[in-house]
Amino acid sequence: MFSRTGKISIVVILVLLMAFVSAEAAEFSADMTIKSAAAGMDMNGKVFVRGNALRQELDTPAGKQITIVSEGANVMYVILPGQKMYMEMPKTQVTLDEKEDMETKFSQQGTLSKQGSETIEGYECDIFQIVYNDPGLGQSLVWVSRKLNYPLKIKMENPQDKATILYTNIAEGTLEDSLFVLPSGYQKLSI
């Protein structure tokens, strides 16, 4: 049902979701660009973050793809609007509460080293290098906004892909509840 490129784009998104979601009080939207060597093209979209709830809308070679992680839910949804279908997957990404920080969570995933700081889109960011315990995940450089406690830039390199994810046009503000809810009328797809 999915082309190789479509599978690659799902993998890129799932790797991103497995790595980072913050449960701090951050509430914002941003434009998102993923440059993936495996996909052979740039993929553009939007991200909406409210605490540990997340919505990503991405234009992929296989069509538009939406990923929703609802606050407090144990599952995440990958939605294929063109086919009016969705996949339900276990929520496996890192989430934080007010007692945890990004640096602690990163160090649980592999060897962590701080690489300095840089301003991205007006947000002061700490740069971390993570060499993952799982060799299949490779390594990442992550620019984490101090204010949002969320990564604004990620460079990943693993055996399957080299990818860069960048968030721009960040707009802090209240987001609608409907962004984080599975839409009605969609058929569940099992894989």
> For the chain, what are the domain ranges?
4-181
**How far is Cα 152 from Cα 178, in angstroms, rounded to an integer?**
24
* Mean pLDDT of the region 161-177: 95
**How far is Cα 54 from Cα 69, in angstroms, rounded to an integer?**
5
Residue 174 one-letter amino acid: T
Range of lowest pLDDT (5-14, 45-54, 77-86, 138-147):
5-14
Question: pTM above the 0.85 mark?
Answer: no
Q: Supply 56's token pair.
A: 């990503």
CATH code of domain 4-181: 2.50.20.10
Range of lowest pLDDT (6-15, 37-46, 145-154):
6-15
The structure tokens 């339900």 sit at 88
Q: How far is CA 184 from the centre of its chain?
A: 24
Give the confidence band of 100 by pLDDT, cuts at 50, 70, 90: low
Count CB-CB contacts under 10 A for residue 23: 18
Contact 21/95 with Cβ under 8 angstroms?
yes
Angle at 83 between CA 80 and CA 84, to 5 degrees: 75
Asked if the model's pLDDT at residue 150 lies above 70, the reply is yes
CA distances from 177 to 38, 43, 83, 101 (A): 34, 26, 24, 25
Range of lowest pLDDT (12-26, 49-63, 121-135):
12-26
* Mean pLDDT of the region 138-156: 92
Give the confidence band of 187 by pLDDT, cuts at 50, 70, 90: very high
**How far is Cα 126 from Cα 155, in angstroms, rounded to an integer?**
14
Whole-number pLDDT of residue 190: 77
CB neighbour burial string for 2-16, b if at least 16 within 10 angstroms, e if fewer: eeebbebbbbbbbbb
Question: Which stretches within 110-182 are classed as H helix?
Answer: none
